[in-house]
Amino acid sequence: MRSYLVGILITGSAVLSAPVFMDAEWARAFCEVWNNTPDLVNRLGNSDSWNSVPERKIFLYRKDCGKDKTVQLTIRNEEGRAMCVYGGWAKDERGKDDFLMFADTKRWIEMGQKRYGPMRAMMFGRLKFKGPKGVAMRNMSPFEAFLDAIDEVESDTSRCP
């Protein structure tokens, strides 16, 4: 009986294990984090530059894991709120109004731990960024809130998606 319970606990813990950092499950969970972060939902929701299009996509990957493991967050303006409506594996092409960000796992972790912000990360090449730079510059506070929240989903950073 005792070994049976241990087997259930081990099996059960495998089922409940944390998602791999920046896999589809992580992206779905990060949508919840986004939607519960006022600096993202409200400030971007009220930003004219951000809302110049009805929907933006943010593509993310861990450079040391390869760009073929890219996740996508789709952010839609819903009545003045920038809501994450999709988080998962990249399913769309990046358009001119969308963002792509990538960094080594170590750097993503450092940014999530608030060791430095987006300006320093980009200036020192720790974070690569493609997309409408003017929109990003006019929304630096939400951009920083996004990077600060990157580690709020408990996840396994020891392996690639």
Picking from 82, 66, 68, 84, the residue whose alpha carbon sits closest to that of residue 29 is 84
Q: Share the mean pLDDT of the chain.
A: 89
> Could you report how far apart the first and last alpha carbons of the chain are, in Å?
36
Predicted pLDDT of residue 5: 37
User: Which tens digit of pLDDT belongs to each residue from 36-47?
Assistant: 999 999 999 999
What CA–CA distance (Å, rounded) separates 101 from 30?
15
Residue 55 pLDDT > 80? yes
> Has this prediction a pTM greater than 0.85?
yes
Which are the contacts of 89, defined by CB distance < 8 A and separation ≥ 6?
A: 24, 27, 70, 71, 72
Backbone angles phi, psi at 55, to 5 degrees: -150, 140
Q: Quick check: 69 and 23 in contact, CB under 8 A?
A: yes
Class of the domain covering 19-149: alpha beta
Predicted pLDDT of residue 122: 80
User: Which tens digit of pLDDT belongs to each residue from 83-98?
Assistant: 999 999 999 999 999 9
User: Which tens digit of pLDDT belongs to each residue from 134-152?
Assistant: 999 899 899 999 999 999 9
